[in-house]
DNA sequence: ACCTGGATCAATAGTATTTCTTGATCTGGT
DNA sequence: ACCAGATCAAGAAATACTATTGATCCAGGT
């Protein structure tokens, strides 16, 4: 994780030490929840290894996936974390996972002891905002088919790792529809390229 | 659940009302965790329906089951609940389950508003202590084989409900060993009776 | 030194649960 | 009237769990 921060802005030894001090490692097994609807989010989560999803259940208990996270990325409900309010979201574990976590108390200490971290997290959040904005744009402008092919090319790693149902839920599409796209492409290989 | 308390000590209407007020119902689906190692236990859990286990993972991630709970019984990590410390145990759901839960704040109110509940929970805990003591005694005094047959006769309901591996883990025996006992008994039906 | 109760490991078989696919039918928008 | 895509139901395919069995090993009691 130090590498991760370092790649955004180089850190000195003291700052690296702060990270070691304030973050702790926690392991989760498949199907465990990192955050459940109704609980207050207590940690920011950096994924060291594994795979998770953040989603909201609708009134019929169908999950709608907001975000996947794999090694090297973050997965947080910032609203619940900073405002200390009950989360509407769930975060659960798709593969056995190791997270580096930092709690509210420690992140304040971190910001106070090295302002560089304000900047690092600012940059991080800005990047996520841009990604989310792009995804939003895709969602309102592209057909389900195009969104799926875009997803394939931008996340080729995830398709072998995550069941199709989840990808469908992430794209806001039915699982059957994806299945049909695939079989159509199998018959006619130069579709969606 | 009111019946449950009532059967220990009869309740008046006011006390029944307190229960309705302070406990809430929560549903869990199979494989969900009610308590995860590292979290602080926030509720006492009374099982309305379903089946759960409480266990500790050892350093090789092998679970060792401390307790099963089915409808009408309780399953709690009291240490974590009352001391507000991180739990060493996990509680997870073996079948879809409905729990009545009471949080720390409400149980204090309950004790304050009706001292009878102190007595009820005292009795409850004493009974559990006795059961645990008996089990401990069996564990240090009986052979694995006898412990298994004892388990069969004292929990005939559980054998069709809970996978053998879990029963093995509860008895502190290997799953293979139970399998052999069963096949031995199949060949020679009057064993262990 | 030698049984015995039981563990561990590995392979296999049997079941159950998830995941994917397919066909049929329906809906809202152009 | 057509098209993109949803929903429902049924099956097939793929995985993951669970149970059984044989082989081998090991510690404690006599």
How far in angstroms lies nucleotide C20's C1' from the CA of residue A155?
20
> Do B92 and B154 sit in the same domain of this protein?
no
> Do A19 and A38 sit in the same domain of this protein?
yes
Please give chain B's pLDDT, 193 residues, in tens: 888 888 889 999 999 999 999 999 999 999 999 999 999 999 999 999 999 999 999 888 899 999 999 999 999 999 999 999 999 999 999 999 999 999 999 999 999 999 999 999 999 999 999 999 999 989 999 999 999 999 999 999 999 999 999 999 999 999 999 999 999 887 776 665 5
Banded pLDDT at A59 (limits 50, 70, 90) = confident
Choose the final residue of a domain: A125, A149, A184.
Answer: A125
User: Strand pairing partners for A70?
Assistant: A51
Choose the final residue of a domain: A76, A105, A125.
Answer: A125
Per-residue pLDDT, A129: 93
CB neighbour burial string for B107-125, b if at least 16 within 10 angstroms, e if fewer: beebeeebebbeebbeeee
- Rounded CA-CA distance B57/B87 in Å is 12
> Do B28 and B93 sit in the same domain of this protein?
yes
Contacts of B36 (CB under 8 A, 6+ apart): A32, A33, B87, B90
Strand C protein footprint, C-beta under 7 A: A 163-165, 175-176, 178-180, 182-183; B 30-31, 143-145, 172-174, 176-177
> Do B147 and B60 sit in the same domain of this protein?
no
> Do A84 and A115 sit in the same domain of this protein?
yes
Could you give the residue ranges of the DSSP H alpha helices within A57-162? 78-83, 104-113, 116-141, 144-154
> Do A31 and A119 sit in the same domain of this protein?
yes
> Do A114 and A30 sit in the same domain of this protein?
yes
> Do A142 and A99 sit in the same domain of this protein?
no
> Do B16 and B68 sit in the same domain of this protein?
yes
> Do A67 and A148 sit in the same domain of this protein?
no
Tokens of A53: 């999803």
Q: Residue B147 sits in which domain range? A: 141-193
- A with B: how many residue pairs have Cβ under 8 Å apart? 9
Instruction: Please tell me if residue A33 touches chain B, with a CB cutoff of 8 Å.
Output: yes
> How many domains would you assign to chain A?
2
> Do A18 and A78 sit in the same domain of this protein?
yes
Q: Which of B79, B95, B94 is nearest to B37 (CA)?
A: B79
Choose the final residue of a domain: A101, A125, A149.
Answer: A125
> Do B145 and B61 sit in the same domain of this protein?
no
Q: Which residues of A touch B38 (CB under 8 A)?
A: 26
CATH number at residue A4: 2.60.120.10
């Amino acid at each position: 994780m130090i590498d991760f921060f370092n790649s955004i802005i180089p850190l000195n030894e003291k700052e690296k030490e702060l990270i070691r001090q304030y973050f702790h490692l926690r392991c989760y097994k498949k199907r465990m929840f990192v955050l459940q609807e109704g609980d207050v989010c207590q940690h920011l989560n950096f994924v060291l290894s594994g795979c998770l999803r953040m989603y909201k259940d609708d009134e019929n208990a169908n999950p709608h996936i907001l975000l996947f996270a794999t090694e090297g990325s973050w997965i947080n409900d910032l609203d619940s974390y900073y405002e200390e309010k009950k989360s509407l979201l769930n975060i659960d574990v798709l593969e056995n996972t190791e997270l580096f976590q930092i709690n509210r108390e420690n992140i304040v200490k971190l910001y106070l002891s090295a302002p560089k971290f304000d900047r690092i997290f600012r940059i991080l959040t800005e990047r996520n905002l841009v990604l989310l904005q792009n995804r939003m744009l895709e969602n309102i402008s592209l057909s389900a088919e195009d969104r799926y092919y875009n997803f394939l090319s931008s996340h080729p790693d995830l398709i072998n790792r995550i069941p199709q149902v989840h990808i469908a839920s992430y794209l806001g599409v039915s699982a059957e529809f994806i299945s049909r796209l695939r079989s159509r492409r199998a018959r006619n290989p130069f579709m969606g390229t």
